[in-house]
Homo-oligomer: A and B are copies of this chain.
């Protein structure tokens, strides 16, 4: 795979959401020797579907196949074009700038968000970066270029989609309690929800399967465990 295998001027960036404990998190990369933080991204092969290119990149970053993905916006302002930034990254990696000149040209970036089960992931840096780590959504480092804007738009889209798509299914393990599910909603919406109303509403959707209780080791009544029922009525 060399430069000429990729479509010039076209990139993708991905906002990879995971949920752990009480917090919504995303994966952020840090480039070698530059202090630049960025979203995981990549390029599209000349004979590759755009969506497949993103899946391929996510597989490299997370080790997971068949990730839940939603494309949410394509960023195409000329302001994103800062050739000196990519040049610094390439130089910091002792890369032959001449050969990778295409990388310093203007790019339009198609942005996706992914939802994955935090526990299943081994974040893996790429050749240009020395880390790929989870960050709380409200404690992100300063991101390069327009990546902060991309994250904000991803969050907004995730919120808008929360009621219409099975978001939480992809963020939780197979079995979970009603409280855990509520925590996911609260983390995404960034607001507290009323326990009884939430429970009634979710159950009335008919998308959950109730399993045997499991004694949790806590000093109170044990909660039911739930899973998402197979082939739910698409919640539309």
Taken together as a complex, chains A and B put the C-alpha atoms of A174 and B75 apart, in Å, by 32
B106/A74 in contact, CB under 8 A: no
Contacts of A137-173 to chain B: CB distance below 8 A: 160, 164
Contacts of A27-79 to chain B: CB distance below 8 A: 44, 46-51, 71, 73-79
Q: Is A108 an interface residue (CB 8 A)?
A: yes
A108/B50 in contact, CB under 8 A: yes
Q: Is A175 an interface residue (CB 8 A)?
A: no
Taken together as a complex, chains A and B put the C-alpha atoms of A108 and B52 apart, in Å, by 14
B106/A77 in contact, CB under 8 A: no
Taken together as a complex, chains A and B put the C-alpha atoms of A164 and B10 apart, in Å, by 31
Contacts of A118-152 to chain B: CB distance below 8 A: none
Interface size on A, residues (CB 8 A): 24
Q: Is A7 an interface residue (CB 8 A)?
A: yes
Chain B nearest CB from A165 CB (Å) reads 11
Contacts of A69-116 to chain B: CB distance below 8 A: 71, 73-79, 106, 108, 110
Given A9-B9, A10-B10, A160-B164: A76 and B106 interface contact (C-beta under 8 Å) = no
Taken together as a complex, chains A and B put the C-alpha atoms of A26 and B46 apart, in Å, by 32
**Listed residue (A9, A44, A74, A77) with the most chain B CB atoms within 10 angstroms of its CB:** A74
Return chain B residues, CB-CB under 8 Å to A76: 10, 44, 49-51, 110
Return chain B residues, CB-CB under 8 Å to A73: 71
Taken together as a complex, chains A and B put the C-alpha atoms of A7 and B106 apart, in Å, by 9
Return chain B residues, CB-CB under 8 Å to A110: 74, 76, 108
Chain B nearest CB from A76 CB (Å) reads 3
Contacts of A164-211 to chain B: CB distance below 8 A: 164
With A47-B78, A50-B76 given, name 13 new contacts (CB 8 A).
A7-B9, A7-B108, A8-B8, A8-B9, A9-B10, A10-B10, A46-B106, A48-B78, A49-B76, A49-B79, A50-B74, A50-B108, A160-B164
